[in-house]
A = this chain, B = another copy of it.
Amino acid sequence: MEKETTIYDIAKGLGVSPATVSRALNNSPVVNKETRQKVFDTATEMGYRSNMFASNLRRKRTHTLGVIVPRLNSHFMSSVIAGMEKVANEAGYNLLISQSLETAKKEAANVMAMFNSRVDGLLVSLAYNTEDISHFSPFIKKGIPLLFFDRVAEHPKCTSIVIDNMQAAHKATSHLVAQGCTNIVHITGNLKRNVYADRLKGYKYALIDNELPFDDSFIISNDLSEEAGMEAAGEILKMNPLPDGVFVANDACAVGCMKILKQAGISIPKDIAIVGFNNDPVSRVIEPNLTTVNNPGHKMGEVAVRNLIIHLDGFSDIVAMNTITLNSELIIRESSLRKG
């Protein structure tokens, strides 16, 4: 391994001081244009690369953002990450990504790892079964910005990026009502997570606002996997009378559900109309195409990182803006269209 070039080598080669080289390399406005050009030229020539550790050690900033997500391999999450990476990369930040695999335990371990890696800020979407957020206290105590997205937690010091899940669910359910459904089942996940609790609320209030009865026995709660959707379909088929609409809190589960219903000879949307959530690619492939709520993952990732960086660079009082809500819209497809 050949020796690394340092700013001292450049300084020596150019007959200037290391400080000037450092300033030039960091585009400090005070340094002479010509000097800067010379520094850049010899830096390239000598194969110089900055040593981020030395720099970080001095500056006490890492230019690295931590990201903790439940799982990486869902369409929604990978879109979020893609959006985050884009903005972070453009702003010269790195992303340190880890998955909690939906368990609070691994989430806590990841938080500590992020803490020890001294990330400048942390972006989190909570695991399925996280009960409280005390494991984030090292960040909060130290004043390191902590930002939640999608599956968020309430905390006075933290910003959240979300869509209006309640409103979206309200629209989705009202749409089913408008299509003539009066007997609507809702399939949801762990109600500790805001996204599912809010979607349930939206469903409930939509029924009430449309003067339809709300009944707990019409709520099916599971892990929202495709398999869970197939099982839920089994339950639905046993109901008497058969429901005429199903609002599912994600698309994967909706798809599983539709598969079984179709197998059982149910006509969608004629017998049962279905609405999903997320606008996953499968929603445009399943037949009939699935009505769903577009969940802007890529944008959510962009917004989350942009806000965090603005705050880190000192341009925003993040406390003043505790929740950022992105727009989502209902995408109506054949799975719910019974009229017009």
Check: A248 CB closer than 8 A to any chain B CB. no
With both beta carbons as reference points, the residue of chain B lying nearest to A49 in the complex is identified as: B116
Q: From known contacts A1-B143, A49-B115, A96-B94, infer whether A82 and B71 are also in contact, taking CB-CB under 8 Å.
A: yes
Q: Determine which of B1, B54, B81, B255 lies in contact with A72 in the assembled complex, contact meaning CB atoms within 8 Å.
A: B81
By the criterion CB–CB under 8 Å, are B73 and A118 in contact?
Answer: no
A280 to chain B, nearest CB (A): 8
Q: Which of A189-205 contact B (CB under 8 A)?
A: none
A53 within 8 A of partner (CB): yes
Min Cβ gap A3→B in Å is 11
Q: Which of A208-216, A239-247, A282-290 is the interface stretch?
A: A282-290
Q: Is the CB of A74 within 8 A of B78?
A: yes
Q: For A116, what are the chain B residues with a Cβ–Cβ distance below 8 Å? A: 49-50, 52
- Establish whether residues A89 and B95, one from each chain, have CB atoms under 8 Å apart when the complex forms: no
Contact mask A78-93 → B, CB, 8 Å, 1/0?
1101100110010000
Closest to A63 in B: B117
Tell me the nearest residue of chain B to A1, going by C-beta: B143
The distance from the CB of A122 to the nearest CB of chain B, in whole angstroms, is 14
Assess whether B57 is in contact with A54, with CB atoms less than 8 Å apart: yes
Determine if A51 is an interface residue (Cβ-Cβ < 8 Å). yes
